[in-house]
């Protein structure tokens, strides 16, 4: 176990030393700043004012740091998170194969399964780190814009969530939801990881992973494809918002996250089988 952790540390060192790892973090900050600006435009404010006041609540109390943070994190992850994780995870195996550094790894007495397990674990840690980064910076953006405190207003129409919370409860829900959001986005990362294990270019792996997400989104939006909803990754990933419902539908959350973890495991196994059957020649 200690050896595995040491090897994992090496994998994390490799990952964190790449410029691409950080460039994305900067892009997320930029997007968050843009969203703060958009949410403060008069049309956006009017829209949310109508929503909050339709529930019989005071707009000035609930148009607060936590409400903004929730909107920022949701849109940031939806707009950029998937693409960015697909890029990083699409690279994780395919890039090393392309560059040739995989030959050095594979000349060591270590199994292919272990190498992939190390990479998948590193990718998982990275996904969680990225989501926590987005979560905390969104929180900071909300606090800088609206000041510390205030109630939390949650509106997720697709998940049927419309709730108001006092500050302390809202903050707990917001922070508690971050691991769940990370778990949701891990599925996008897993799909990209799977493609990365095939004999394809890193960019192709990333494009294929993004394509899966886009096709999934389109199918989910088709009014006549209602039966597809049950299989849609995006639909299951969006269950994160249900953590903000009152009371929390734990059974639903467990069901959806079990489905997603099953998809993650399947992606890993398919990737491993593809990788295991490959010849690596200079």
Partner 1 sequence: MVEIDAISKTFTKERKAVDAVSFTVRKGEIFGLLGHNGAGKSTLLGCMLGMVYPDQGEVRIDGISVQQERNRALRKVGAIFEAPAFYDYLSGWQNLKILAALSGFTDRTEISRVVDLVNLTERIKHPVGTYSHGMRQRLALAQALLPSPEVLLLDEPTDGLDPEGIREFRDFVLRLRDERGMTILFNSHLLAEVELLCDRVAIIKRGRLLYTGDGADLRQQSQRFSFVVDDWTRLLAVAEPLGGRPDGESHLHLPLNLDVAEVVAAAVQAGVRVREVHRHKETLEDLYLKVSA
What residues line the site for partner 1 (CB under 8 A)?
A: 3, 6-7, 9-11, 13-14, 17-19, 99-101, 103-111, 115, 279-282
Minimum CB distance to partner 1 smaller for 106 or for 156: 106
- Cβ-based nearer residue to partner 1, 121 or 161: 121
Q: In terms of CB distance, is 93 or 237 closer to partner 1? A: 93
Question: Smallest distance, Å, CB 115 to partner 1?
Answer: 8
Non-local (6+) Cβ contacts of 282 within 8 A are: 100, 103
Please identify, using beta-carbon distances, which residue of 3 and 222 lies nearer to partner 1. 3
Closest CB to partner 1 among residues 18, 50 = 18
CB 152 within 8 A of CB 169: yes
Whose Cβ is closer to partner 1: residue 14's or residue 201's? 14
- Output the smallest distance, CB 164 to partner 1, in A: 48
User: Cβ of residue 91: shortest distance to partner 1, in angstroms?
Assistant: 13
CB nearer partner 1, residue 19 or residue 223: 19
Angle between helices 82-99 and 167-196 (to 10 degrees): 30
∠ CA 171-245-187 to the nearest 5 degrees?
Answer: 85
Report d(CA 19, CA 13) in Å as an integer. Answer: 12
Question: For the CA atoms of 239, 243, 247, 251, what is the dihedral angle to 10 degrees?
Answer: 50
Residue 164 φ then ψ, to 5°: -125, 135
The two three-digit tokens of residue 20, written as one number: 């691409």
Q: Please, what is the minimum distance in Å from the beta carbon of residue 9 to partner 1?
A: 8
Residue 118 C-beta: closest distance to partner 1, Å:
9
Between CA 7 and CA 277 the distance in angstroms is: 23
Cβ at position 187, least distance to partner 1 in Å: 28
User: CB of 116: closest distance to partner 1 in angstroms?
Assistant: 13
Distance of CA 22 to the CA centre of its chain: 16
CA–CA distance from 231 to each of 53, 212, 217 (Å)? 36, 13, 12
The alpha carbon dihedral of 199, 201, 205, 211 has a sign of negative
């Amino acid at each position: 176990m200690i050896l595995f952790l040491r090897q994992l540390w090496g994998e994390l060192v490799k990952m964190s030393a790449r410029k691409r790892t950080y460039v994305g973090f900067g892009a997320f900050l930029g997007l968050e700043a843009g969203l703060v600006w958009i949410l403060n435009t008069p049309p956006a404010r009017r829209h949310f004012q109508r929503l909050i006041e339709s529930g019989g609540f005071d707009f000035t109390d609930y148009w607060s740091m936590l409400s903004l943070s929730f909107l920022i994190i949701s849109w940031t992850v939806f707009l950029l998170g998937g693409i960015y994780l697909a890029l990083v995870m699409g690279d994780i195996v395919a890039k090393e194969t392309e560059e040739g550094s995989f030959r050095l790894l594979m000349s060591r007495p270590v199994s292919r399964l272990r190498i992939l397990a190390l990479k998948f674990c590193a990718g998982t840690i990275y996904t969680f780190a990225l989501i926590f980064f987005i979560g905390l910076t969104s929180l900071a953006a909300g606090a800088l814009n609206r000041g510390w405190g205030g109630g939390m207003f949650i509106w997720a129409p697709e998940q049927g969530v419309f709730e108001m919370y006092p500050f302390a409860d809202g903050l707990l829900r917001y922070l508690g939801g971050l691991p769940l959001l990370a778990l949701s986005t891990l599925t996008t990362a897993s799909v990209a990881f799977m493609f990365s294990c095939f004999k394809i270019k890193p960019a192709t792996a990333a494009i294929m992973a993004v394509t899966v997400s886009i096709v999934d989104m389109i199918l989910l939006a088709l009014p006549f494809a209602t039966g597809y909803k049950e299989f849609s990754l995006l639909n299951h990933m969006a269950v994160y918002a249900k953590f903000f419902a009152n009371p929390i539908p734990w059974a639903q959350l467990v069901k959806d996250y079990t489905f997603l973890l099953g998809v993650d495991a399947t992606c890993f196994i398919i990737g491993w089988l593809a990788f295991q059957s490959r010849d690596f020649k200079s």
